[in-house]
Amino acid sequence: MKKKSADLLEKMKEELKGLDVRTVSAVGHPADQIIATAKEEAVDLIIMATHGMSMMKRYLIGSVTNNVVHHSTIPVLVIP
């Protein structure tokens, strides 16, 4: 799982060439980890996408996004 995660993050980083991108991988409850990491890294904005997934994945990701939106003190941009 860690290898797949690292590979995916590297692929996404390559697609964003020209931007200052640093990837972070964490283990735990997704919403809690996103919020905690965003605070630790002092980010200005959390961007989350919910598009292009199966219905089950969309439901799960949607609930994570919902949780982050409602519990983060950092602004969250949700891209459908």
Arithmetic mean of pLDDT, 10-26 = 87
Class of domain 2-79: alpha beta
Given a cut of 90, is residue 31 above it in pLDDT?
A: yes
* Residue range 43-77, pLDDT digits in tens: 999 998 776 556 666 566 668 888 999 999 999 99
The overall pTM is greater than 0.75 = no
Given a cut of 90, is residue 27 above it in pLDDT?
A: no
Which positions ≥6 away from 8 have C-beta within 8 Å?
none
